[in-house]
Structures are given as structure tokens and as C-alpha cells.
């Protein structure tokens, strides 16, 4: 009997200590100056609530940190799993703003009912919260990171255990090899032909 109780307690602790992961998923790892870098903010391993149902994500906010000498912020495109109310009057609240150089604040708060959130998120192991686009300015090696992450459920409670995962990338200068023009090649060929005739 003691073993059974111990096993049940360990199972409960394991389920309740399941960490939600917020990660950066890049469209590439190597970029050239002038490219557009797209970074998906992905939530995964959302886990179960205290009674064993899938947790629902109803809000999130974070500071998204980047090297502003290498990247210039362009825009944020929010995902489609929080803004799910069929009535456009109850669209989710979305905000993105540069707090300081290299520090982007991103926030979305769903206005939908929990059953609408459940219909959109049920059975998903992971989904994209937002996509951040940057213009690549110059060569270098850097990463995208999170700070001050907060994720809330449909009742307004914050997720207890949230882990984050950054993403590294490399930027190189595009080296273009100049191609000789067709006209120069034509002149060179004609000079060779003229030279052969005179010999």
C-alpha cells in the first residue's frame, strides 16, 4: 500500500512539474546582409492542469532581445491560436513595441471564451504565438533570447514553470563574382579569329 501511495505521489509531482517551453524557431541559421530573418516564437509542452485537462494559453508577454547592430526590427505577425473569437469585436489585444535598442516587447491577450480557445488549441503539442521579422544589416554571429516571460491560462493564472530556449544564427556578407559581359567575350573571340586569319 505504501508503494502504491508513493507511486501515485511521484506521478502527481511529475505531472505538476511539467515545464512549458518557449523557444525561437528560425527559418534559417545562415543569412546574408540584406536578407529578412523570420523568427517564430513557439510554445510547446503546455501540459495538463491540476485536474488533468490540457492547459489553454490565453495570454503571453515577453521581451524579445536581439543585437540591433546586426538586425533591424521590421514587424510582428501574431499567431492564430489566441485570436479565435468569431466576433471581431472581441479580437485579442495585441501589442509590440521597441522598449529600447535591441529590446522588443510582445504581448497578446485573448478575449475569446475558453471553449473557443479549446477548439483552436486542443490536441496541439506546439504552436506559433508570433513571428518576428528583422532586416539583416551586417555580418556577425548572434542569438535571439527571451526575458521576463509570462504565460497565462483562460482563468488568468500564470504558468508556474516556463523554460526558454534561444536561437543562434550567422550572418555573412554576400560576395558577388562579377561575370564578364557578353560584349567583352564577343570582342575577345573576334580578335582571336582575326589573328588566325593574318597568320
Supply the CATH number for residue 138's domain: 2.60.40.680
Q: Which domain holds residue 33?
A: 2-198
H/E run at residue 77: strand 71-78
- 3-class secondary-structure state, position 127: strand
- pTM of this prediction? 0.77
Site of grid cell 491577450 = 109
* 36, 132 Cβ separation under 8 angstroms: no
Torsion angle of alpha carbons 144, 159, 6, 53, nearest 10°?
A: -110
Number of domains observed in the structure of the chain:
1
Q: What is the CA radius of gyration of the chain?
A: 26
List, for residues 109-145, the tens digit of each pLDDT value. Answer: 999 999 999 999 998 989 999 999 999 999 999 999 9
List, for residues 42-91, the tens digit of each pLDDT value. Answer: 999 987 777 777 789 999 999 999 999 999 999 999 999 999 988 888 89
192: pLDDT strictly greater than 50: yes
Amino acid at each position: 500500500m505504501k508503494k502504491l501511495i508513493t507511486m501515485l505521489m511521484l506521478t502527481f509531482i511529475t505531472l505538476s512539474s511539467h515545464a512549458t517551453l518557449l523557444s525561437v524557431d528560425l527559418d534559417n541559421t545562415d543569412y546574408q546582409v540584406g536578407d529578412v530573418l523570420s523568427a517564430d516564437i513557439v510554445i510547446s509542452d503546455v501540459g495538463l492542469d491540476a485536474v488533468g485537462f490540457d492547459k489553454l494559453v490565453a495570454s503571453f508577454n515577453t521581451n524579445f532581445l536581439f543585437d540591433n547592430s546586426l538586425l533591424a526590427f521590421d514587424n510582428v505577425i501574431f499567431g492564430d491560436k489566441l485570436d479565435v473569437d468569431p466576433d471581431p469585436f472581441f479580437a485579442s489585444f495585441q501589442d509590440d513595441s521597441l522598449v529600447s535598442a535591441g529590446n522588443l516587447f510582445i504581448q497578446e491577450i485573448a478575449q475569446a471564451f475558453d471553449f473557443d480557445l479549446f477548439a483552436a488549441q486542443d490536441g496541439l503539442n506546439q504552436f506559433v504565438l508570433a513571428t518576428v521579422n528583422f532586416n539583416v544589416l551586417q555580418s556577425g554571429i548572434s542569438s535571439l533570447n527571451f526575458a521576463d516571460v509570462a504565460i497565462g491560462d483562460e482563468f488568468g493564472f500564470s504558468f508556474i514553470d516556463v523554460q526558454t530556449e534561444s536561437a543562434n544564427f550567422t550572418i555573412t556578407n554576400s560576395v558577388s563574382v562579377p561575370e564578364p559581359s557578353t560584349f567583352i567575350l564577343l570582342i575577345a573571340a573576334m580578335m582571336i579569329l582575326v589573328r588566325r586569319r593574318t597568320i
